[in-house]
Amino acid sequence: MTMLDRLFEITNKHHEFFKYSIPLIASENVTSYLVRRFYTSDFGHRYAEGKVGKRYYQGCAFIDELEALAIDLTKKLFEVEHANVQPISGTIANMAVFFALTNPGDTIMSLSVPHGGHISHDRFSAAGLRGLNVKYYAFDNENFNIDVDATKRKVEKLEVKPKVFVLGASLFLFPHPVEEISEIARDVGAKVVYDASHVLGLIAGKQFQDPIREGADVVTASTHKTFPGPQRAVIMCKKELAKTIDKGVFPGVVSNHHIHSLAGYVATCLEMMEFGEAYAKQIVKNAKRLAESLYNLGYDVLCPDLGFTESHQVVVDVSKFGGGDKIARMLEDVGIILNKNLLPWDDVKNADNPSGIRIGVQEVTRLGMKEEEMDTIAELIDTTIKEKKSKDEIRKMVREFKSNYTTVKYTFEECPAYDFPELC
């Protein structure tokens, strides 16, 4: 077998694997053929440093038109004054914002990772690279949210006041108290940055909070989780911060900005304008139903008294079954793909085998699954964890079930989700 054959084989096997597995990673999604078509365009061979109409390379006439369209659609879809569409990932978007709004040695407020914060909000990653001193919000485990009063007291006691309050999370069940935190931030002259990476599609579909109107100064977001686009990111903000944010992106942390995927992002904006509301509504309904089904099967799904979730995520404490690592591997073995996750009461040093698993329903929803299918997924998870059948039997059940859901919906022309299309 040649190396090239090997490359095709690996890629085809990966596609086949996902086609017959149940994809429940909360940070992923599948794009439509419409979006993928633009990945293969010549845009992916070009450079466009700088801003629309002010580039450092020649040959950007149509790239300028494309980027102007991307900015315009982002502003319309999210009703914001300014958008920068150049960050190539959510982490890069956060770095750009830290670059723009802080200096090394400044303090920021973030959620710790066990409380749901993303590593880029923390000292191990983007915030640390900028040399920021990270203080954590007080967290209310019962309500799975920031404890506003305790945080206020914490901020009052800080000798050096924070410059930025980061909201938004990777483990994200309920809207954050943007209004209340913005008030605390304003009192100390700080900015509020809301990382909407996980919930951008729900915001586009108007099924989650509206961070800018609730008081956030800046919203960052990757565009490939509940927003079913290519892997990149956007930053949105009020007009008065536009220049500062743009400078943080370029020349701050982005040079080439992967223009083929920008074209795909524009196509996703058009899909979300047409289908976003229906898609986001179904995502939230499915998450609630999956949570309820698992709870009824005896699982420690977080926040039963709060309706489990208001987002695409369901979080389960599986410590009584051996922990998140063991369970995520068991499920992977039968074709149910999700991830282990630290829970608020876990020590960050326990990241290798935390108490929880995180489940996201945005991808299976995109494939047309509804509430009934969530019951089936809960039963398959239960059958696996409680070893009610052999692995081979469960694998077969997963495969048969998933065979009916391999088409991308909520797009202009439905298309295969996991085929590896031939171009030539």
Ligand X SMILES: Cc1ncc(COP(=O)(O)O)c(C=O)c1O
DSSP 122: S
Q: Tell me which H or E stretch contains 37.
A: helix 33-39
User: In this chain, which stretch among 3-11, 87-95, 396-404, 411-419 interacts with ligand X, using CB under 6 A?
Assistant: 87-95
Residue 74 or 293: which CB sits closer to ligand X?
A: 74
Q: Is the peptide bond before 251 cis (omega within 30 degrees of 0)?
A: yes
Residue 362 or 384: which CB sits closer to ligand X?
A: 362
Residue 19 or 114: which CB sits closer to ligand X?
A: 114
Tell me the C-alpha distance between 121 and 412, whole Å: 36
User: In this chain, which stretch among 46-54, 162-170, 178-186, 380-388 interacts with ligand X, using CB under 6 A?
Assistant: 162-170
Segment 113-132, which members bind ligand X (CB under 6 A)?
118, 120
User: In this chain, which stretch among 1-9, 40-48, 73-81, 163-171 interacts with ligand X, using CB under 6 A?
Assistant: 163-171
Question: Minimal distance in Å, beta carbon 87 to ligand X?
Answer: 8
Task: Report residue 192 as tokens.
Answer: 């509020």
Instruction: State which of residues 169, 236, 245, 259 lies at the interface with ligand X (CB under 6 A).
Output: 169
User: In this chain, which stretch among 137-145, 193-201, 290-298, 345-353 interacts with ligand X, using CB under 6 A?
Assistant: 193-201
Q: Which residue is nearest to ligand X (CB)?
A: 90
Binding of residue 90 to ligand X (CB under 6 A): yes
Residue 158 or 348: which CB sits closer to ligand X?
A: 348
Q: How many CB atoms sit inside 10 A of residue 117's CB?
A: 25
Segment 203-242, which members bind ligand X (CB under 6 A)?
222, 233
**Phi and psi, residue 235, nearest 5°:** -130, 135
Binding of residue 102 to ligand X (CB under 6 A): no
Extract long-range pairs of 255-259: CB within 8 Å, 24+ residues apart. 255/47, 255/49, 256/47, 256/48, 256/49, 257/48, 257/85, 257/86, 257/87, 257/88, 257/232, 258/44, 258/88, 258/232, 259/43, 259/44, 259/46, 259/48, 259/63, 259/66, 259/67
Binding of residue 168 to ligand X (CB under 6 A): yes
Binding of residue 182 to ligand X (CB under 6 A): no
Segment 17-76, which members bind ligand X (CB under 6 A)?
27
Q: What share of the chain is helix, strand, coil (3-state, %, to 5)?
A: 45, 15, 40
Question: Minimal distance in Å, beta carbon 249 to ligand X?
Answer: 14
Closest CA to 356 of 54, 187, 114: 114
Sequence-ordered strand ranges (E) for 106-212: 107-110, 133-136, 139-140, 145-146, 164-167, 191-195
Question: Minimal distance in Å, beta carbon 300 to ligand X?
Answer: 23
Number of residues that make up the chain: 424
Instruction: State which of residues 29, 84, 197, 313 lies at the interface with ligand X (CB under 6 A).
Output: 197
The residues of the shown chain that bind ligand X, judged by CB under 6 A, are 27, 89-91, 118, 120, 168-170, 195, 197-198, 222, 233
